[in-house]
Structure 1
Amino acid sequence: MRVAFDVAQTCTQKAGCGYYADSLAQALAETADIERLILLHHFGSWINFETAAGTAIESERVSAPFKGLSHEAGRDAWKAIQQGTREFPESPQIVHSCSYRAPRTPGIPLVFTVHDVCFWTHPEFTTEANRIECQTGLLDALKHATGFIFVSKHARDEFEKVTGGWLAHTGRPWTVIHSAPRRFPETNHSPANIPERYWLAVGSVEPRKNYEAILDAHEIYCRAVDQPAPLLIAGSRGWLSDDIHRRIAALPDTQVRYLGFVSDEDLGYLYRHSLGCLFPSWYEGFGLPVIEAMANGCPVICSDRASIPEVAGDAALYIDPADPRSISDAMAQIHSRPDLYSNLRQKGLNRSQAFTWAKTAQKTAAFYQTVVRAYRDIRRSDD
C-alpha cells in the first residue's frame, strides 16, 4: 500500500502529536505491508516555514516530496490539491493526518488520528487559539475523513460523548490503537549538573499537567522525609504558564530545577536514573510520559483519571490530582522503601512491553486496508 503520512508537526519543537507522527512514521517504514511511505512535511493548513528538522527516514521505500518546499510553495501545493487541480504526490492509496488537520483529499480516503478532545471537554486548560484550531480540524474531519484512529479507549469514548454518538450513527470505520514509548539512545553520559537522586516531572508546562500540585506535593515531601531528593522538570514552556514559572524561579535550584525542553538522549537518561516520575495530570488522551518512564525502569506516580489508568494498568502508584498530599505520601513511600521502588520498576518494565511502535504500526497498516475498502463501498453507494 502507498501511504501519504502527515509529519508536519515534526518540523518544529515536538510535543505529543509530533512525537506520535515521528515514531509511527519510523515504524511504518519498517512494516512489510507498506509499499511506499510518502512523508508530508506540509499538511493541509499546517504549512511550515522550515522543514529541515522534520522526520527523515533513509529508505528506498520512503519519499518526502514536500521537504524543502518554501512556505509559499507548500501553501500553494495544498491549495491546488484540495481544489483538485493538482495531483497528489506519488498517487497514494490513503492519507493519514496526525496533526488535527483534515484537508480535502479528492479521490483518496483520509484517516484522522484523534489524540484527545480536551479542547471541548476542558476548555479551561487551553487557549482560545488552540481551541479554535483543534475544533476546526476535528469538525473538518467529520466531513472529510473516512476512518478514525483513537490513541486510547478513553479518547474514543470522549469523542462519542461530545459528538452525540457520531461514530455509531454514521458507521464510519474506527479503531483504538495505543501509542508507545519512544526509543531513546542508550547513554551513561549524564546531562550537566544532574544530582544523584531526584524526582522527575515530564511534559509541557501548561494547566492540565497540574504542575501546581507537583510543586505543592514536593514541598510537603521535603518537610516529611530525611534527605529529600530535588525535583527536575523536563518540558517546554506551554501556554498559560507564567504563574507556575514565576513560582519555580522563586525556589532554590537545589530544590526544584526547570530544565526546559531536553533532547531524547538526555530524557532517556533522566528517566533511567530517576527516583520516580510524577504525573498528576488532570486530563490526557494517552499519557506518553507514563509508558516512557515505565519502559526505562522509572517508577510512576500518576493520576487516577482519564486515559492514564488504561495505560498504566497495575504498574503505578495512583493518586488524586486534586490532593497534593496524596502525591507526597506516594513519594515518601518510594523514598523510604527500596523494595517498593524495585517492585514498581519491574512492574513498569513488564507493563511497557505491551506497548511497542511495531505493534502500533502493524495495527495501523491493517486499519488502512479497512478504510480503503470502506471508501470504495461509500463511492459505489454514491454512484
Structure 2
Amino acid sequence: MRILFDHQIYSNQNYGGISRYFYELSKGLTSLGNECQNSIYFSENEFMKDREFFNSRSFIPFQFKGRQKVKEHLNQLVSNRLLKKGNYDVFHPTYYDPYFLNTKPASKPFVVTFYDLIHEKFSDRYPTLLANMDEVIASRKVMLKNASKVIAISHNTKKDIIDYYGIPEERVSVTHLASSFLPNTLAPDSHWGDYILFVGNRLGYKNFALFLEAVQPLLLREKSLKLICAGGGKFNDEEQKLIGKLGVEKQLLQIPVDDKRLATLYTNALFFVFPSLYEGFGLPALEAFNCHCPTILSNVSSLPEIGQDAALYVDPENHADILQKCEQFYYDPKLRDEYREKGHQQAAKFSWERVSSETLDIYKSAL
C-alpha cells in the first residue's frame, strides 16, 4: 500500500509525541512492505535526521519575522503538489488543518488521528492556555466530517469524540500508542539523591500546582527527598512564588531532558507521579513502565485504561489522596519493587509493531 503523510506536524514541532508517532508509524509500515511518502521539504524536527525515511532540508538558518509562516507555506505547496498527483492509496494528515480538501482527489480516502479533546473539554477552565481554541475546534469538525476513518489513541478518546461530535461509532477505531524507552542504567547526577519524578508541561490541566501542595508535607518531613521536574521549561514566576511559599525551594529541580536523560531519570527515580486532570493517552506512564519506574497515575480519562493494575491511582483533585499514595511508595521499598515488575509487564502489551499493523488494517478498511 502507498501511504502519504503531510508536512503539518514536522513544520510546527521540532520534537514531541505526535511527530514521534508519525516517525514510528512510517518505520513500522515500511517494515511491513508498504511505501510511505512524507511530503516535508523544510524541517528542523529531530526525527527528520533519519535519512532512511526522510529527505527534508533545514530551513534558512537565521531568524526573521514571519519565518515560521514562510516555512509552513512552502511545505504546504509541496504537500498540495503530491496530493494532486494522486500517487498514493491513502492520505494521513499529521494534524488538523483541512487545507487539502480542495486539492486531494475525491477518490482518495484520508484517515485522521485524534489524540485528545483537551480544547473541547477544558476551554472554559483554561482559556488563556488553549490558544486558537475556536479555530482548532472548527478544523477538527471539518476533518471529522470528511475523513474516511478516524483513529483514536485510546478508548477514552474515542468515547470523547463520539460524545462531543456525535459521529457514528463505527467510523472511529482505536490504536494505542507505544514507547521506545528502555531502562537507562547510567548513574544519575550525584546531586539528585532520592527523588520523586514529574515529567513534562506543568501548566493548567497538568495539575502541577495542586500536586506540589499535596506532596509538600512529605518533602518538609524528608529533607533529603527531592522533586525533579523533567522538561516543561524553567519554573515561571508564579511557580517560583508557590515553591517559596511552600518552603521547598531547596528540594525542587527543573532539568532539561532529551530521551536518554529522561530514561535515566525514570530508571533512577523512587517513583513517578502523573497527576494530570485529562490525557488522551498518557505516554509518560508507558515510558515509566518501560523504565521499571513505580508509577502513580490520576484515576481519570485514559490513564486507568493504559495503566490497568500496574500503577497506584489517585483522585487528582484530592490533596490527601495524593499525599497518601506518595507516602505509600516512599516508605515501602517492597511495594515499589512490586510495581516496577507490574509496570514492566504492562509495558510489554504495547509496541510500535502493533500500532503499525492495526493502523494498516484501518487504512485497508478506508479503501
TM-score class, shorter-chain normalisation, is 0.7 to 0.9
Q: How many residues align?
A: 351
Which residue of structure 1 aligns with residue 36 of structure 2? 37
Q: Which moved more, 1:73-82 or 1:127-136?
A: 73-82
CA distance in 2: counterparts of 1:303 and 1:290, whole angstroms: 10
CA distance in 2: counterparts of 1:242 and 1:249, whole angstroms: 11
% identity of equivalent residues:
25
> What displacement does 1:214 show?
1.9
Q: Does the CA contact (< 8 Å) of 2:311 and 2:343 recur in 1?
A: yes
CA distance in 1: counterparts of 2:85 and 2:292, whole angstroms: 43
1:148-201 per-residue CA deviation (whole Å, 9 max, x = no partner) reads 1000000010111111x2124xx6x321000111335845153x5552311000
Q: Does the CA contact (< 8 Å) of 1:221 and 1:328 recur in 2?
A: yes
Q: Does the CA contact (< 8 Å) of 1:200 and 1:278 recur in 2?
A: yes
TM-score scaled by structure 2? Answer: 0.85
Change (3 A) 1:67 1:248: farther
Which residue of structure 2 aligns with residue 195 of structure 1? 192
For residues 1-383 of structure 1, the aligned pairs below 5 Å read 1-6=1-6, 8-10=8-10, 12-30=13-31, 32-34=32-34, 36-41=35-40, 50-51=43-44, 53-59=46-52, 62-64=53-55, 67-68=57-58, 72=70, 75-76=73-74, 78=76, 82=80, 88=84, 91-104=87-100, 106-107=104-105, 108-123=108-123, 124-125=125-126, 127-163=129-165, 165-168=166-169, 173-184=171-182, 186=184, 188-190=186-188, 192=189, 194-224=191-221, 226=222, 229-237=225-233, 243-248=238-243, 253-259=249-255, 261-371=256-366, 373=367
Q: 1:125 aligns to what SS in structure 2?
A: coil
CA distance in 2: counterparts of 1:117 and 1:90, whole angstroms: 31
1:261-294 per-residue CA deviation (whole Å, 9 max, x = no partner) reads 4100000000011111111110111111111101
> What displacement does 1:111 show?
1.0
> What displacement does 1:145 show?
1.8
Detail structure 1 runs of 4+ shifted over 6 Å in the superposition.
Answer: none
Gaps of 5+ in 2: 61-68
Change (3 A) 1:99 1:235: farther
TM-score scaled by structure 1? Answer: 0.82
1:296-342 per-residue CA deviation (whole Å, 9 max, x = no partner) reads 10011111111110000011111111112211111111111111010
> What displacement does 1:73 show?
6.8
Change (3 A) 1:334 1:290: same
CA distance in 2: counterparts of 1:90 and 1:160, whole angstroms: 31
Gaps of 5+ in 1: 43-47, 374-383
CA distance in 2: counterparts of 1:141 and 1:38, whole angstroms: 21
CA distance in 2: counterparts of 1:278 and 1:73, whole angstroms: 38
CA distance in 2: counterparts of 1:210 and 1:332, whole angstroms: 19
Change (3 A) 1:13 1:72: closer
> What displacement does 1:68 show?
4.7
Q: 1:98 aligns to what SS in structure 2?
A: coil
